[in-house]
Amino acid sequence: MTAPSPVYLDNHASTPVDPRVVEALLPYFTERFGNPASAQHRYGWEADAAVDVARRQVAALLGADVTEIVFNAGATEGNNLALMGALAVAAEEGRTHAITQATEHKGVLLPLAEWERRGQGSVTVLPVDSTGMVDPAAVEAAITEKTAIVSVMAANNEVGTLQPLAEIGAICKARGVLFHTDAAQAVGKVPLDVKAAGIDLLSLSAHKLYGPKGVGALYVRRKGPRVALRPQILGGGHEWNLRSGTLNVPGIVGLGKACALAAEELESDARRIAALRSDLLAGLRRVAGDLRVNGHPERRLAGNLHVTFFAQPQSVMRAIMQRVAVSAGSACTTATDEPSHVLRAIGLSEDDCRTSLRFGLGRFTTAEDIDRALNEMAAVVAKQAVG
Ligand SMILES: *Cc1c(COP(=O)(O)O)cnc(C)c1O
């Protein structure tokens, strides 16, 4: 007999594909495998029509127009095109400065670091407070006449903090600066409206919202202002010349379906998941003693629970991770022992990092999963106590 699979509580890393998404996309591998660019025959038309449907589904979830959705391979690619593409255009008129904040994903921080390293411009990385929030007034104060773009994520992937997007969007609008948001963790989890929040560019990824891996989209505003980007991948001119390469039709169909489901179920999912999260937190206090919840107490993703344990040693974290699929929430407990830039930015000490875990609940997390995870953790703690 094989051991039962560990309970999956790592939905910030990736989510299982919803069976309804799998069902929708499967025919596009087999009978409807055409290239949407083949305009001469039915195989092409079918694929093209399916991409159109998906584009409408993605646009609808964001409050965008279909002409504003650029399909790609995920949020890392979207971040790179948004930042490098917008900076390349703005630099032609002498605007070479970008503003971001300390808890961004590496997919934002590293393209901007590269922009600086090549001597093309400068980047301001703003600090966050102990809850992980950036201060909109600090964003405003950092804007100069050289600033081209502000990039602030919608929801943090480690501690779940939601950033004040609408406030930052309004500031950017008033100052004539583009506003990009990496919304990989937020899309399908919290309501988002690109027009209401003044967002000009938004990156998303299907595998974070119960869709397949390796597919995503970038929202690119068309009006007020029309955002110009320099493409980073050149070729056949797909996706309005912004991202060449034959479209991943099954992936795109899956992303569209995932967005349509999220539009329907986001609120009920969030309510149910938040209740499970409270149960998990109460259980953790019982099982593991003194702890602190990291991130923002209210402005947070329903499924995120990031905890520093004060009564347990690092060895317990390692043992838990062998029985429950959670994340260290940092690289602290890996071989490199490098503290997470997110946890350091919110002020955790290296010791606190070492006894912190990230729990990520999702659409398919059940009450039984929470019970099983707590039982496993209780067993780990009991064994540790015995020595
Ligand atoms: C997962 C994630 C990404 C990367 O998305 P991919 O589609 O895997 O490239 C970027 N930003 C955040 C906040 C994420 O959570």
Asked if residue 168 and residue 66 are part of one domain, the reply reads yes
Question: Is residue 308 pLDDT above 60, yes or no?
Answer: yes
Query: Atom of ligand 1 at shortest distance to CA of 73?
Result: 7
* Maximum pairwise Cα distance, the chain: 72
Question: Is residue 330 pLDDT above 80, yes or no?
Answer: no
Rounded Cα–Cα distance for residues 6 and 13 (Å): 15
Asked if residue 212 and residue 299 are part of one domain, the reply reads no
pLDDT of 47-99, one tens digit each?
Answer: 999 999 999 999 999 999 999 999 999 999 999 999 999 999 999 999 999 99
Pairing of strands 216-220, 69-72: antiparallel
Query: What type of residue sits at position 41?
Result: H
Structure tokens at 202: 């938004």
Asked if residue 174 and residue 47 are part of one domain, the reply reads yes
Asked if residue 344 and residue 251 are part of one domain, the reply reads no
For residue 208, what is the domain's CATH number? 3.40.640.10
* Residue position matching structure tokens 């309510």: 271
The DSSP line for 345-382 is HTT--HHHHHTEEEEE--TT--HHHHHHHHHHHHHHHH
pLDDT at 187: 98
User: What's the gap in Å between 110 CA and the centre of ligand 1?
Assistant: 13
Q: What is the mean pLDDT of residues 208-217?
A: 98
pLDDT of 336-378, one tens digit each?
Answer: 667 899 999 999 999 999 999 999 999 999 999 999 999 999 9
Q: What's the predicted TM-score (pTM) here?
A: 0.97
Asked if residue 244 and residue 125 are part of one domain, the reply reads yes
Q: Is 32 helix (H, G, I), strand (E, B) or coil?
A: coil
Is the shortest distance between the CB of 161 and ligand 1 below 6 Å?
A: no
Q: What is the mean pLDDT of residues 183-212?
A: 98
User: What's the gap in Å between 112 CA and the centre of ligand 1?
Assistant: 16
Asked if residue 335 and residue 243 are part of one domain, the reply reads no
pLDDT at 335: 55
Question: Is residue 329 pLDDT above 60, yes or no?
Answer: no
Rounded Cα–Cα distance for residues 85 and 90 (Å): 9
Question: Is residue 37 pLDDT above 50, yes or no?
Answer: yes
Catalytic residues: 332
Give the H or E element holding residue 291. Answer: strand 291-294
Q: How many domains does the chain have?
A: 2
pLDDT at 386: 77
Phi (first) and psi of residue 303, to 5 degrees: -90, 0
Asked if residue 12 and residue 54 are part of one domain, the reply reads no
Nearest protein CA to atom 9 of ligand 1, as residue? 76
Q: What is the mean pLDDT of residues 236-258?
A: 97
Rounded Cα–Cα distance for residues 66 and 154 (Å): 21
Q: Please give the mean pLDDT across all residues of the chain.
A: 96
Nearest protein CA to atom 2 of ligand 1, as residue? 184
User: What's the gap in Å between 102 CA and the centre of ligand 1?
Assistant: 16
For residue 336, what is the domain's CATH number? 3.90.1150.10
Is the shortest distance between the CB of 75 and ligand 1 below 6 Å?
A: yes
Is the shortest distance between the CB of 74 and ligand 1 below 6 Å?
A: yes
Is the shortest distance between the CB of 186 and ligand 1 below 6 Å?
A: no
